[in-house]
Amino acid sequence: FMLEVTSRALMGGDDATFLDRFALPLTIGTYEGEQVIESRGALLKVLRGVQDFLRRNNIDLIDRRTVDAEFLSPDKVLATHESRYLCKGQQIGEVKLCCGTIERFDGFWMITSNDYAVSDAPSLNRALLSRADIKQSPTDGDHTDMKIKEA
């Protein structure tokens, strides 16, 4: 359910629904580092960066599926999901893995942390870490950041 709601909100530009699914503070980690998001404004900056990455790379669908989930307590789940980024039905880049925690607050499930394993898209890692200080790669947007996956 959480993957479906956040994917639809991310791709459809429904900022409020997307932001409401994340608890603050939120920890985001990638191979390039980690950050703690403490405000909706900072989370919106990450959202905008990811949406920009998707637009530049012509991603029109994200196929996300749960790989594993384990209750750590009645109100906390550790879950891993994989994402496939698609452009006109073609998979772009490698499958991306994410391991995160989801916690229940007053009956409402919210994401409290996400660690992303993205090795083939440095500009996506920069977006996830709000690294606007790093200039966009000249290859961003022409699928050289993420190659079309051969079937």
Residue 80, phi then psi, degrees to nearest 5? -120, 135
Q: Which has the closest alpha carbon to 83: 114, 105, 56, 111?
A: 114
- Pick from 51-60, 61-70, 133-142: least confident: 133-142
The reported pTM is 0.84
Radius of gyration of the chain (CA): 15
- Alpha carbons 37 and 22: distance in angstroms, whole number: 10
- Which pair of tokens denotes residue 70? 């384990």
Question: What's the distance, Cα to Cα, between the start and end of the chain in Å?
Answer: 28
63 pLDDT more than 80: yes
Q: What's the gap between Cα 122 and its chain centre?
A: 13
pLDDT digits (tens, 9 = 90+) for 16-40: 999 999 999 999 999 999 999 999 9
What is the distance between the alpha carbons of residues 6 and 11, in angstroms, rounded to a whole number? 8
Q: Does the pLDDT of residue 150 top 90, yes or no?
A: no
* pLDDT class of 130 with cuts at 50, 70, 90: confident
- Which pair of tokens denotes residue 108? 């409402």
Q: CB of 143 within 8 A of CB of 88?
A: no
